[in-house]
């Protein structure tokens, strides 16, 4: 079937479930064909828009291209595309930012209405008609199960030897029929290696040969390096104190510069054999497998640089049995995360003196990316750590503020805050003691006196002294930044 014919199965107003998680395994061609249909409709004076549900982020040729032509009614549950972000923040695109473990169950539940069509990339089809999942699993099982019509993209760029790396769990159900998720170790397999799809649902099959998004690997900068060193010191201290086993507990790590610095710091270090129960496998995790520092990884997707992908493809035999790719409702399942006792390491945009974390919003109003799986992991982690440079925008923004302008992780969910300045272990501390520790250990010296001044005045004059705030002034740092371009007081 031609690509254009395939795209005909997507109709205006449809809810469309697309594959894709952190730039891996998203459909490469159908979104472009859809964009052409949208433009044709616009030329006729018709509006053509759909709701786009995915695993997580995709790539410019999906999110960016559809957002650019205003073809998205509602986007969920995560995005990180610059065009899409600009449209959301301009008020032109509705975005539903969700815990990634919640998506599948709420779709089964019917909370978002009916799923009309699924567009799913697979790595291949077996002679028996089973679908070999691609470089991400995400919500693909749910999209295929729930959609009326399924469009497959079979991407021959994906290595055939991905076959057997996935563990698709078909034991989920709606309550009251749910059973325990019987994962006791990172490497446990509880499902099957293939996605099932009734043949009569498949309305189109498109062959592609296109690489996943290149998640470029930036060299570790000095600040990220110092954050990583602080984190590693903290872990060593916990092991020494007997609060963590010598091989730690399963790691969960976000992506990006700081995560790469952490993973590099772990490589060849004293903690081994490591495991990871996480969302995403980035370059640094592959390196840990390769060196033998890490034994096994469970995730729902890869997110690799060009070099990382080349390495995976060239050496897939040595990775094959040490990686399990699961649906995101399992990779991020609270039950499993809490049972395994993950060490959760996630980034933050800002933290406040009482330990609340903002992971998603800039100055209260604009979205950056989304909460992703950070809430699934932090809430249920053995130790929930949040990592951020102490300043942003060349020092014009302090990442430690009196009150965060948006809360994604409440004071109840945050164990440890780490910046390049140091570590604040907040466990067991009442709010005012947390404040002093965060100011002393994590704030940038340029902002420390300002924070201390706020905290002292609030402690002296606030109407309540549990979490003393000057309510007129709590968000004044953000207001000042919006007005003057800096949080520094003049």
The distance of closest approach from Cβ of residue 196 to a second copy in the complex, given in angstroms and rounded to an integer, is 24
Task: Identify the bridge partners of residue 392 per DSSP, sorted by sequence position.
Answer: 397
Phi first, then psi: what are they for 224, rounded to 5°? -60, -40
- Closest CB to a second copy among residues 6, 72: 72
Segment lying near a second copy (by CB under 8 A), choices 2-10, 192-200, 304-312, 367-375 = 367-375
Q: Which segments of 361-455 are extended strands (E)?
A: 361-362, 366-367, 383-387, 391-392, 397-398, 400-401, 416-419, 422-425
Among 334, 448, 452, 486, binds a second copy (CB under 8 A): 334
Q: Please enumerate in sequence order all residues whose Cβ is within 8 A of that of 442, keeping only pairs 6 or more positions apart, or say none.
A: 351, 390, 400, 417, 418, 419, 421, 422, 423, 424
Phi first, then psi: what are they for 74, rounded to 5°? -135, 130
Among 205, 232, 363, 392, binds a second copy (CB under 8 A): 363
Q: Please enumerate in sequence order all residues whose Cβ is within 8 A of that of 391, keeping only pairs 6 or more positions apart, or say none.
A: 397, 398, 399, 444, 446, 447
- Closest CB to a second copy among residues 47, 338: 338
Among 112, 157, 217, 319, binds a second copy (CB under 8 A): 112
For residues 106 and 139, is the Cβ–Cβ distance under 8 A?
no
The answer to whether residue 458 forms part of the interface with a second copy (CB under 8 A) is: yes
- Look at residue 237 and give its three-state secondary structure: helix
Please give the residues from 34 up to 93 whose contact with a second copy meets the rule CB under 8 A: 74, 88-91
Please give the residues from 127 up to 186 whose contact with a second copy meets the rule CB under 8 A: 174-176, 178-182, 184-185
Nearest to 275 by CA among 187, 346, 334: 187
- Closest CB to a second copy among residues 283, 413: 413
- How many residues interact with a second copy (rule CB under 8 A)? 87
The distance of closest approach from Cβ of residue 75 to a second copy in the complex, given in angstroms and rounded to an integer, is 8
- Look at residue 329 and give its three-state secondary structure: helix
Among 41, 42, 83, 96, binds a second copy (CB under 8 A): 96
- Closest CB to a second copy among residues 230, 360: 360
The answer to whether residue 190 forms part of the interface with a second copy (CB under 8 A) is: no
Residue-wise burial string across 364-394, b where 16 or more C-beta atoms lie within 10 A, e elsewhere: eeebebbbbbbbbbbbbbbbbbbbbbbbeee
Segment lying near a second copy (by CB under 8 A), choices 18-26, 124-132, 360-368, 443-451 = 360-368
Among 268, 433, 449, 456, binds a second copy (CB under 8 A): 433
Question: Hey, CA dihedral for 28, 34, 35, 36, is it positive or negative?
Answer: positive
For residues 49 and 12, is the Cβ–Cβ distance under 8 A?
yes
Please give the residues from 398 up to 427 whose contact with a second copy meets the rule CB under 8 A: 403, 405-413, 415, 427
The distance of closest approach from Cβ of residue 412 to a second copy in the complex, given in angstroms and rounded to an integer, is 5
- Closest CB to a second copy among residues 28, 102: 102
The answer to whether residue 106 forms part of the interface with a second copy (CB under 8 A) is: yes
The answer to whether residue 1 forms part of the interface with a second copy (CB under 8 A) is: no
Q: Please list the active-site residues.
A: 279
Phi first, then psi: what are they for 281, rounded to 5°? -105, 110
Strands 117-125, 149-155: pairing is: parallel
The distance of closest approach from Cβ of residue 300 to a second copy in the complex, given in angstroms and rounded to an integer, is 18
- Here's the x/- map for a second copy, 241-280, by CB under 8 A: it reads as xxx-x---x-------------------------------
The distance of closest approach from Cβ of residue 462 to a second copy in the complex, given in angstroms and rounded to an integer, is 4
Task: Identify the bridge partners of residue 441 per DSSP, sorted by sequence position.
Answer: none
- Here's the x/- map for a second copy, 460-489, by CB under 8 A: it reads as --xxxxxxxx-xx-xx--xx--x-------
Among 198, 270, 364, 485, binds a second copy (CB under 8 A): 364
Q: First vs last Cα of the chain: how many Å apart?
A: 65
For residues 368 and 81, is the Cβ–Cβ distance under 8 A?
no
């Amino acid at each position: 079937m031609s690509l254009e014919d395939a795209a005909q199965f997507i109709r205006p107003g449809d809810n469309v479930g697309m594959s894709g998680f952190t730039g891996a395994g998203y459909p490469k061609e159908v979104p472009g064909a859809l964009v052409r249909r949208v433009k044709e409709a616009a030329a006729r004076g018709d509006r053509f828009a759909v709701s786009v549900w995915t695993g997580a982020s995709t790539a410019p040729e999906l999110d960016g291209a559809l957002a650019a032509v205003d073809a998205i009614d509602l986007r969920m549950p995560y995005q990180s595309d610059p065009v899409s972000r600009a449209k959301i923040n301009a008020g032109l695109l509705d975005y539903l930012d969700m815990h990634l473990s919640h998506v599948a169950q709420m779709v089964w539940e019917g909370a978002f209405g009916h799923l009309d069509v699924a567009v799913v990339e697979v790595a291949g089809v077996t002679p028996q008609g089973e679908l070999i999942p691609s470089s991400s699993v995400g919500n693909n099982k749910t999209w295929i199960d729930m959609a009326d019509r399924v469009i497959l993209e079979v991407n021959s760029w994906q290595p055939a030897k991905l076959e057997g790396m996935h563990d698709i769990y078909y034991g989920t159900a709606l309550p009251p029929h749910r059973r325990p998720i019987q994962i006791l170790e990172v490497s446990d397999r509880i499902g099957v290696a293939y996605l099932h799809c009734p043949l009569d649902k498949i309305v189109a099959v498109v062959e592609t040969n296109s690489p996943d998004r290149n998640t470029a690997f930036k060299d570790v900068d000095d600040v990220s390096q110092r954050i990583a060193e602080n984190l590693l010191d903290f872990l060593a201290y916990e092991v020494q104190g007997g609060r963590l086993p010598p091989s730690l507990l399963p790691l969960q790590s976000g992506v990006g510069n700081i995560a790469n610095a952490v993973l590099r710091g772990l490589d060849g270090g004293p903690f081994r054999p490591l495991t990871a129960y996480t969302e995403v496998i980035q370059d640094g995790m592959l390196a840990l497998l390769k060196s033998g520092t890490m034994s096994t990884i469970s995730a729902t997707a890869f997110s690799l640089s060009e070099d990382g992908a080349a390495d995976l493809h060239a050496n897939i035999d040595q990775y094959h049995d040490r990686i399990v790719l699961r649906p995101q409702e399992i990779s991020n399942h609270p039950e499993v995360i809490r049972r395994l006792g993950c060490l959760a390491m996630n980034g933050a945009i800002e933290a406040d003196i009482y330990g609340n974390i903002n992971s998603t919003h800039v100055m209260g109003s604009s979205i950056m990316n989304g909460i992703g799986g950070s809430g699934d992991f932090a809430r249920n982690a053995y130790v929930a750590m949040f990592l951020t440079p102490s300043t942003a925008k060349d020092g014009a923004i302090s990442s430690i503020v009196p009150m965060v302008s948006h809360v994604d992780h409440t004071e109840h969910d945050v164990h440890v805050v780490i910046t390049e300045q140091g570590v604040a272990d907040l466990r067991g501390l009442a709010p005012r003691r947390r404040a002093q520790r965060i100011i002393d250990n994590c704030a940038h010296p340029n902002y420390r006196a300002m924070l201390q001044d706020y905290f002292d005045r609030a402690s002296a004059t606030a109407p309540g002294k549990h979490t003393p705030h000057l309510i007129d002034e709590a968000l004044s740092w953000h207001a000042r930044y919006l007005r003057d371009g800096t949080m520094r007081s003049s």
